[in-house]
């Protein structure tokens, strides 16, 4: 029997049960035979599994290869960007890619005891990172290069900004880098990055940060730098930074951006800033002379007033605003000490404070308040010289310094009032009498004058002695004589026209002063009088003829004759409130003022004029 017959045979009857195998169903059916897979089906399933595994393996390797290639391309892109960035120097970035517009506003926050100044600086800042690494768009770029730049621009936009932490910056002039003009400390700040910026400055970000400035206290070096900059028309300085740390992202940000960081050392850049044109002055540059302080600052008015134990000062001045119109600055009140410049050591004369300052264009208004400092009696001579020059309309040298900026001082001049004040007015000699005494003549009478202080000066005075030096004219003082300087010893040469006599006491004359009513445009006014008794009347050399003519008019005229008087006077005044070194309660300070010019006239009548007969007078004059 063949095998096929055995497979086709159908078993009948009872037979031995077959042993269960792994293919035997757990629950047998009565009508369904067991499932048996033949070898063809098994091979078919195996083939399918092999094909699936092959496909999955192929997909894996393709994906993996793509990732490797993409990673390699990304690394290559990053390397190219990094290579470009590594070739950049801080000088290049500052010069070509860093854009700063301003400062548009500076607020003085605080001034330290060592002269340092905390200010808040506001301006606009940005870095054209696209230009720095060369990824800004260009119409002439090909597809591949444009694609390469696109990834770079996307990276810059994703980074967004960097945080910069710098050490102290040192500012020196380019002509001598051994001179430190200024040190600058800038707290860590965020610097925005951009790509493809527009041509205007709209892409810049407004930045406001506190900055600590420590200027030099060497006034000579600072003035030299300003003069050099003025002559060249620009500020040319070098900025040095010891080290700087640059990190991606914001200051308080800890993200993937923070992994981008760099440390720079010995950062150096040269800064050239055009000096602004000051209104009313020639354009800086072309070796134009540097303006003085008095050219820039103008005193509008000065008020001085007395109290019981002090002299108060109030002044208003204007200063030319050298900054552009868009620049704003505010400053708190600043204290200053004013010194009188002398051949010896400077004399501190006043302590003043400026009111808070705000820049206004074209001129800045300065409001100043202060008091006169206590003075010692030996310093009155210096103060007398200052006041004498001031009341004569002349300028005085002063030095201005501030304890806020130790060692920094400015020499300038304090201008005299303009027009020149007329202090002694309505000068005359009441009840003037002339009598012969030997070969000369003696004059007596009461000198009267009105002392008028310049506008704004309202101080209590007691004019208690005077020292006149007078030329007497035949008739009113001629106009040509107005230009002649006040007479001093020796007499002026040539003598003024029609001048015939000279009166000058050997010592001070006691005087009495009482307050007078001030008119518009005047300061405090006082009426002063002093008696003259038997004061020698000197007939000027070569002027005997003029003297004889005057006496003839007095004797033979109906109403006497007019004598013009012109000269200068010294006065000693006690100033109410002038503080002395002894403190409150010390005697009032006394000031001598010399060279106060005056001019007036007096009518000399014949009644009671001479204490001797006419004949005797005429005989003395050689006219009998």
Looking at residue 603, its pLDDT comes to 86
Q: Cα separation of 417 and 457, whole Å?
A: 11
Residues 476 and 583 in one domain: yes
Looking at residue 136, its pLDDT comes to 84
Among candidates 202, 233, 195, 239, which has minimal Cα distance to 95? 239
Q: Cα separation of 406 and 48, whole Å?
A: 94
In a domain, 175, yes or no: yes
> Is the confidence at residue 175, as pLDDT, over 70?
yes
Token pair recorded at residue 138 = 């260009």
Name the pLDDT band for 32 (thresholds 50, 70, 90): low
> Is the confidence at residue 65, as pLDDT, over 70?
no
Q: How many residues does the chain have?
A: 624
Most confident of 22-26, 73-77, 394-398: 394-398
Name the pLDDT band for 183 (thresholds 50, 70, 90): very high
Question: Would you give the end-to-end CA distance of the chain in angstroms?
Answer: 205
Three-class secondary structure of residue 183 per DSSP: strand
Looking at residue 512, its pLDDT comes to 94
**Mean pLDDT of the chain, nearest integer:** 81
Q: What is the DSSP letter of 487?
A: P
CB 470 within 8 A of CB 502: yes
Q: Which residue in the block uniquely carries the two structure tokens 């200063």?
A: 319
Residues 314 and 370 in one domain: yes
Q: What is the mean pLDDT of residues 592-604?
A: 88
In a domain, 615, yes or no: yes
Three-class secondary structure of residue 94 per DSSP: helix
CATH assignment of the domain containing 410? 2.60.40
> Is the confidence at residue 514, as pLDDT, over 90?
yes
Name the pLDDT band for 450 (thresholds 50, 70, 90): very high
Q: 460-512, pLDDT tens digit by residue?
A: 999 989 999 998 888 888 876 544 444 455 677 788 889 998 999 988 999 99
Q: Cα separation of 109 and 184, whole Å?
A: 15
Residues 475 and 569 in one domain: yes
Residues 140 and 238 in one domain: yes
Q: What angle do CA 276, 280, 284 make, to 5 degrees?
A: 40
Tell me how crowded residue 6 is: count the other CB atoms within 10 A of its CB.
8
Residues of the chain with pLDDT > 90, as a percent, come to 26
Looking at residue 131, its pLDDT comes to 83
Q: What is the mean pLDDT of residues 292-299?
A: 85
Residues 484 and 508 in one domain: yes
CB 299 within 8 A of CB 317: yes
Among candidates 156, 151, 86, 89, which has minimal Cα distance to 127? 156
Looking at residue 143, its pLDDT comes to 80
Range of the domain at 327: 293-414
Token pair recorded at residue 95 = 């010069």
In a domain, 349, yes or no: yes
Q: What is the mean pLDDT of residues 156-175?
A: 90
Flag the least confident range among 18-27, 285-294, 363-372. Answer: 18-27
Residues 487 and 602 in one domain: yes
Q: What angle do CA 365, 367, 372 make, to 5 degrees?
A: 145
Token pair recorded at residue 222 = 């600072």
Residues 226 and 129 in one domain: yes
Looking at residue 86, its pLDDT comes to 60
* End residue of a domain, out of 367, 385, 414: 414
Residues 6+ apart with CB under 8 A from 576: 306, 308, 459, 460, 461, 462, 588
Looking at residue 173, its pLDDT comes to 93
Token pair recorded at residue 209 = 């940060």
Residues 178 and 269 in one domain: yes
In a domain, 332, yes or no: yes
- Sign of the Cα torsion 372, 375, 380, 386 reads negative
> Is the confidence at residue 5, as pLDDT, over 50?
no
The three state secondary structure string of 512-579 is: EEEEECCCCCCCCEEEEEEEEEEEEEEECCCCHHHHHHHHHHHHHCCCCEEEEEEEEEEEEEEECCCC
Residues 389 and 432 in one domain: no
Residues 179 and 224 in one domain: yes
Q: 200-216, pLDDT tens digit by residue?
A: 889 999 999 999 999 98
Name the pLDDT band for 392 (thresholds 50, 70, 90): confident
In a domain, 321, yes or no: yes
Q: What is the mean pLDDT of residues 364-376?
A: 92
Q: Which residue has the higher pLDDT, 272 or 584?
A: 272
Looking at residue 316, its pLDDT comes to 94
Looking at residue 78, its pLDDT comes to 56
Flag the least confident range among 49-58, 90-99, 282-291, 484-493. Answer: 484-493
Tell me how crowded residue 490 is: count the other CB atoms within 10 A of its CB.
6
CB 125 within 8 A of CB 192: yes
Name the pLDDT band for 13 (thresholds 50, 70, 90): very low
Half-sphere exposure of 126 (CA within 13 A, CB side): 20
Is 318 buried (19+), middle (13-18) or exposed (0-12) by CB count in 10 A?
middle
Q: Which residue has the higher pLDDT, 300 or 308?
A: 300
Looking at residue 350, its pLDDT comes to 95
Domain count along the chain = 3
> Is the confidence at residue 172, as pLDDT, over 90?
yes
3-state helix, strand, coil in the chain (%, to 5): 25, 40, 35
Residues 257 and 126 in one domain: yes
In a domain, 71, yes or no: no
Residues 326 and 231 in one domain: no
CB 367 within 8 A of CB 386: no
Among candidates 429, 448, 439, which has minimal Cα distance to 536? 439
Could you list the beta-strand ranges (E) of 373-423.
396-401, 409-414
In a domain, 65, yes or no: no
Looking at residue 511, its pLDDT comes to 94
CB 432 within 8 A of CB 443: yes
* End residue of a domain, out of 246, 274, 302: 274
Three-class secondary structure of residue 473 per DSSP: strand
Among candidates 335, 97, 69, 323, which has minimal Cα distance to 204? 97
Q: Cα separation of 299 and 338, whole Å?
A: 15
Token pair recorded at residue 431 = 């009840």
Q: 221-277, pLDDT tens digit by residue?
A: 888 898 888 888 888 999 999 999 988 888 888 888 888 888 888 888 888 888 877
CB 569 within 8 A of CB 469: yes
Looking at residue 302, its pLDDT comes to 92
Among candidates 84, 252, 248, 261, which has minimal Cα distance to 157? 248
Three-class secondary structure of residue 320 per DSSP: strand
Among candidates 423, 409, 415, 343, which has minimal Cα distance to 381? 343
Could you list the beta-strand ranges (E) of 21-179.
98-111, 117-128, 161-166, 169-173
In a domain, 198, yes or no: yes
* End residue of a domain, out of 381, 414, 447: 414
Q: Cα separation of 328 and 312, whole Å?
A: 31
């Amino acid at each position: 029997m063949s095998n096929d017959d055995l497979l086709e045979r159908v078993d009948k009857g009872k037979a031995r049960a077959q042993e269960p195998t792994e293919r035997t169903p757990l629950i047998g059916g009565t009508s369904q035979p067991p499932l048996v897979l033949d070898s063809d089906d098994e091979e078919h399933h195996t083939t399918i599994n092999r094909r699936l595994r092959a496909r999955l393996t192929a997909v894996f390797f393709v994906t993996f290869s793509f990732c490797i290639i993409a990673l390699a391309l990304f690394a290559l892109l990053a390397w190219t960007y990094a290579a470009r960035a590594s070739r950049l120097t801080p000088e290049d970035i500052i010069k070509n890619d860093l854009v700063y517009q301003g400062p548009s506003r500076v607020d003085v926050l605080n001034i330290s005891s060592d002269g340092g100044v905390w200010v808040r600086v506001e301006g606009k800042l940005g870095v054209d990172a696209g230009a720095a690494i060369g990824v800004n768009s260009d119409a002439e770029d090909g597809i591949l290069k444009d694609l390469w730049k696109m990834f770079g621009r996307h990276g810059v936009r994703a980074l967004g900004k960097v945080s910069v932490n710098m050490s102290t910056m040192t500012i020196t002039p380019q002509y001598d880098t051994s001179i430190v003009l200024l040190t600058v400390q800038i707290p860590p700040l965020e610097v925005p990055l951009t790509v493809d910026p527009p041509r205007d400055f709209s892409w810049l970000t407004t930045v406001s940060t506190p900055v600590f400035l420590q200027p030099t206290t060497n006034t000579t070096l600072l003035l030299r730098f300003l003069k050099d900059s003025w002559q060249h028309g620009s500020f040319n300085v070098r900025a040095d930074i010891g080290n700087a740390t640059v990190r991606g992202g914001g200051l308080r940000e800890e993200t993937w951006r923070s992994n981008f960081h760099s440390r720079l050392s010995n950062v150096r850049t040269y800064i050239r800033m055009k000096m602004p044109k000051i209104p009313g002055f020639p354009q800086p540059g072309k070796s134009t002379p540097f303006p003085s302080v008095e050219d820039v600052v103008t005193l509008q008015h000065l008020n001085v007033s007395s109290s019981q134990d002090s002299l108060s000062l109030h002044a208003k001045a204007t200063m030319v605003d050298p900054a552009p119109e868009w620049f704003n600055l505010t400053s708190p009140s600043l204290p200053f000490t004013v010194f009188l410049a002398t051949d010896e050591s400077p004399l501190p004369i006043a302590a003043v404070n400026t009111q808070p300052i705000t820049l206004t264009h074209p001129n800045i208004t300065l409001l100043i308040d202060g008091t006169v400092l206590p003075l010692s009696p030996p310093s009155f001579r210096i103060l007398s010289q200052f006041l004498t020059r001031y009341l004569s309309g002349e300028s005085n040298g002063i030095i201005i310094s501030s304890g806020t900026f130790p060692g920094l001082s400015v020499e300038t001049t304090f201008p005299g009032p303009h027009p020149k004040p007329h202090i002694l007015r309505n000068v005359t000699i009441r009840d003037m009498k002339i009598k012969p005494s030997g070969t000369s003549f003696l004059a007596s009478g009461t000198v009267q004058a009105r002392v008028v202080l310049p506008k704004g000066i309202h101080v209590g005075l007691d004019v208690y002695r005077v020292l006149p030096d007078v030329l007497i004219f035949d008739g009113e003082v001629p106009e040509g004589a107005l230009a002649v300087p006040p007479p001093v010893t020796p007499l002026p040469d040539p003598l003024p026209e029609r001048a015939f006599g000279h009166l000058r006491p050997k010592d001070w004359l006691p005087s009495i002063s009482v307050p007078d009513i001030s008119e518009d445009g005047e300061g405090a006014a006082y009426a002063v009088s002093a008696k003259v008794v038997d004061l020698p009347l000197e007939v000027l050399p070569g002027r005997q003829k003029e003297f004889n003519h005057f006496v003839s008019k007095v004797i033979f005229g109906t109403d006497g004759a007019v004598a013009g008087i012109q000269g200068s006077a010294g006065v000693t005044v006690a100033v109410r409130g002038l503080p002395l070194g002894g403190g409150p309660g010390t005697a009032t300070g006394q000031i001598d003022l010399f060279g106060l010019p005056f001019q007036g006239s007096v009518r000399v009548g014949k009644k009671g004029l001479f204490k001797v007969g006419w004949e005797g007078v005429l005989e003395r004059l050689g006219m009998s």
